[in-house]
Amino acid sequence: MDDPLEEQFTSAYTFLNNHPEINLSNEIKLKLYGYYKVVTTGKVDTAKPSLWEIRARAKWDAWKEVENTPTEEAMQMYVEIVEKANVGWNRDQLDDIAIEDETKEKNKENTQQERMKYVSTMSYEEEEDDDDENDIFSCTKKGDTAAVNKILDSGEIDVNAKDDQGLTLLHWASDRGYLEIVKLLIEKGADVNILSDEEKETPLHYSCISEHLDCARYLYHHGANSLIKNSEDLIAFDYCDAQFKEEVIKE
């Protein structure tokens, strides 16, 4: 490997991968993950995860925060973070890594996946959705429009009913970015300004927080009141930038 910085970067993340007993704080892991993704992928190329996907959202935010960092600078930052963490690695004592070794080359993809798995490990547990096909909240979270429609047509549940987290179907659909379900629920009489029990937020709050432009625009143009404040005295548009707001409100 000709580039000393690239060699240091490779050595640093390989060292972490080979020493799973190292206990880094979540803050450091997130920083490492963000810079790792910039080096290996570049700018964020995936949609922002739901509010309830805590681990995935934290990782996405960490990546998004540094996505404009030049590749070389990202490698440098990664190396410095590992070195300052005092985990037994420093750039002057690089591990003997045969990157060009034929065996490692054949398993390159698997190796990279294992490295990323380590540096992105968080103490959070992702919430797993209920797979009950007869549960309308589960179907909404999975984006199953047909199933949601079928259950609503059965008349077995109020379209504005809340789950044990104090959220309605429209909150969930808005949070996940399922525009077709948002349309269906509103057509079935869902209250676009209904508040969540705990944070006192509307579905528009959720779509703005999760940056689902299509859902936010549809809600706004179908009666959502953008001036409603939540328990923190914030309106939905306080959670997005000016460009997002402009796109939402324009005809």
Every domain of the chain and the residues it spans:
4-119, 136-249
The CATH architecture assigned to 4-119 reads: Up-down Bundle (1.20)
- Which of 24-33, 55-64, 112-121, 195-204 shows the lowest mean pLDDT across its residues? 112-121
Whole-prediction pTM value?
Answer: 0.55
Residues 6+ apart with CB under 8 A from 13: 32, 36, 78, 82, 115, 119
Cα of 99 vs its chain's centroid, Å: 32
Bridge partners of 194, per DSSP, are none
Distance CA(165)–CA(69), nearest Å, equals: 38
Mean pLDDT of 6-14: 89
DSSP 77-124: HHHHHHHHTTSS--TTS-----TT-HHHHHTHHHHHHHHHHHHT--S-
The class level of CATH for 136-249 reads: mainly alpha
**4-119 and 136-249 agree in CATH topology:** no
pLDDT above 50 for 82: yes
Give the pLDDT band (50/70/90) at residue 69: very high
Distance CA(221)–CA(199), nearest Å, equals: 23
pLDDT above 70 for 111: no
Question: pLDDT tens for residues 196-239?
Answer: 998 899 999 999 988 899 999 999 999 999 999 998 899 999 88
Cα of 162 vs its chain's centroid, Å: 24
Give the pLDDT band (50/70/90) at residue 92: confident
The position carrying tokens 């797993």 is 128
Token pair listed for 223: 């009666």
Contact (Cβ atoms closer than 8 angstroms) between residue 124 and residue 153: no
Dmax (CA) of the chain: 69
Question: pLDDT tens for residues 140-178?
Answer: 999 999 999 999 999 989 999 999 989 999 999 999 999
End-to-end CA distance of the chain: 54
